[in-house]
Amino acid sequence: MRPRVKTARLSAPIAIIFLSFPVTIRAQLSPGDLSEVHAFLEGLKNCESCHEAGKQISAEKCLQCHKILNERISGGKGLHKNEGYDDCVSCHVEHLGRDNELIWWPDGIENFDHSQTGYKLEGKHGVLDCRKCHKGDQIKRQAEFLNAGKDLNRTFLGLDTACLNCHQDQHRGQVGEDCLKCHAYTGWKPASGFDHSGAAFPLEGRHLEVQCTNCHTVLSPEDSPDLKYIKFTGIKHGECTDCHEDIHRGKFDQACRTCHNTSGWRNVNRADFDHGKTRFSLEGKHAALACEKCHEKGKPLAGLKFSRCMDCHTDYHTGQFVRRESRGECAECHTVIGFAPSLFTIENHQKTEYPLEGSHLAIPCIACHKAKWDESGSAKLQFTFESTDCNGCHNNPHGDRINQYMKPDGCRYCHNVSGWKAVSYDHGPVGFTLEGRHARTSCVSCHKPVETNGGVRSLVFSGRSRECLSCHADIHRGQFQETAIIDGVEKQHTECQRCHTPGNWFPDRFDHNRDADFKLEGAHLKARCSGCHKRIEEPDNTFVWFRPVDKKCESCHGSSDLNLEAGEND
């Protein structure tokens, strides 16, 4: 219930006395002047038009005059049908003067809950000033209201809730009067409720991105040029050319949809367009190319050159094969499936100036035919070489230390194409023939790699000593060293080959009677070597003592029961 405003109530006896008074006296008894709209009821004789004797203001009395409002309440419409609004004086107070505004808004007009009228204000309606809607020119029953004495610019009655009651029909009746089917209270644009899929032309693909006005043009009526509107009906859409220009100029008599679709003109339906009917059938990677790659925009579709690959493709090899019989035609090595792998096989390579052998057969092409940069900054694979010598591709790890041995065959003097480790070098010419175990020894066992100043490890070949002790440790601890002149220099030398051969380490050449100062005769011939030449055990080495050995008999035969025969004494 709305809060009630207390009004003066006259009892029946007082009312009779009041009515018997002269006018001047009765005027003095009035609570105050009536408002301007009720001024015609001023005077004591009109009190009962609104008041009943002994009662306050009666709603029934009010509704006898306010017939339009009475009609709405009876029909269960509007604000006054609600409980709490059936007592007029709750909101309408009289006798407060001519300028009094008869409507009292308890919480202020700006806070009025409009939904109680049966029409909730939503979106942009919620922020409008009341008189933007409640004004005379938007009341449909104007004549009836005027006859009822209503001020059209003061009343809050008479509005229709239809959108077109307040808003102009921008579509000029093309789409009906149910604006909310497409639009929302939050704003007319965009038409968030409109679903084009329910229209005669559903939008798909790129059509979804097109601005509405691209198809729905703005028109001006001949009778009212200023009242422009958007065209929604009567738009032709049966053929693509109704909207789109035929860029093929009628060269293809089939419908656009045979090749194209709404996802984009460039997304050609290749499955339906048979390029094989043209002079150039699309195969391999050509089939995946965008049409514009060959058919450039703005240029004719016909008249393209395609007899040679280089009509379209740049010669990646920059003329390296133009002297061949095919004049460098790409198809000699490549197919439309892709540039790699090449059709140039090993069999083809064997017919070139450099047939492949050995390990070269297992090397990928790119290992030799590497990309090189030209002066323009472009890279190309190298297929022509000034020389096919090993050094053309391989770095010489030996530097210039063995150049005297490499001519005229170069690396092939020692190596072959089966592998670098398969060396076939003749060691004899250097003055040190490889025999016995030396012939089976790896080169790096003697020619060990050293690191140069540039940090490169290289094998040392020249300047190697031919003395045994330059590679082998002296297991005799210098017992056989002698002074000798070697290369004009006097130095200590051990001639291992007097006793040993390259076949093994056993002293096969040693003859005790020839090479030692003590000849073996008689029982000495059967004696074990270790009987005289004892094994010396030291913390860091063990060796056999060969010389000098005391030759006196008593140095070995110190006991009468000593027997040096082989097998009888360990």
What is the total count of domains within the chain?
A: 3
Contact 542, 535 (CB under 8 A): yes
What pLDDT was estimated at residue 322? 86
Position 284 in a domain: no
Inside any domain, residue 16: yes
- Asked, for residue 257, whether it belongs to a domain, the answer is no
Q: Tell me which amino acid residue 380 is.
A: K
Query: What gap in Å lies between CA 218 and CA 117, rounded to an integer?
Result: 38
At 565 the pLDDT is 46
Concatenating the DSSP letter of every residue in 15-41 gives HHHHHHS-HHHHHHHSSSPPPGGGGGG
Say if CB 462 and CB 453 are below 8 A apart: no
Is there a contact between 114 and 121 (Cβ–Cβ < 8 Å)?
yes
- What is each CA distance from 428 to 459, 500, 501, in whole angstroms? 19, 20, 17
The single-letter DSSP state of residue 5 is P
Does residue 272 belong to any structural domain of this protein? no
What's the pLDDT score for residue 361? 92
Q: Please, how many CA atoms are within 13 Å of residue 20, restricted to the half-sphere of its CB? A: 6
Residue 529 lies in a domain: yes
pLDDT score at 33:
92
pLDDT of the residue at 254: 63
First to last CA, the chain: 137
- Establish if 34 belongs to a structural domain: yes
425 falls within a domain? no
pLDDT at position 334 is 92
Tokens representing 38? 């009720």
Mean pLDDT by 10 residues, the chain (570 residues): 39 40 50 90 87 80 90 91 86 90 88 92 92 90 88 89 88 89 89 87 91 87 79 87 83 75 80 78 88 82 84 86 85 89 90 91 89 80 86 80 73 86 81 88 83 73 82 89 83 88 88 90 90 88 88 77 43
Domain-terminating residue out of 63, 89, 120: 120
pLDDT of res. 454: 67
Q: Would you put residue 250 in left (φ > 0), alpha (ψ -120 to 50) or beta?
A: left
Residue where a domain stops, chosen among 388, 410, 430: 388
Question: Distance (Å, rounded) from C-alpha 188 to C-alpha 124?
Answer: 10
Contact yes or no for 434/424 (Cβ under 8 A): no
Question: Could you identify the residue written with the tokens 């097998």?
Answer: 567
Last residue of a domain, one of 363, 388, 413: 388
In this structure, is residue 549 part of a structural domain? yes
User: At residue 460, what is the residue type?
Assistant: V
Domain containing residue 116: 12-120
pLDDT of residue 356: 93
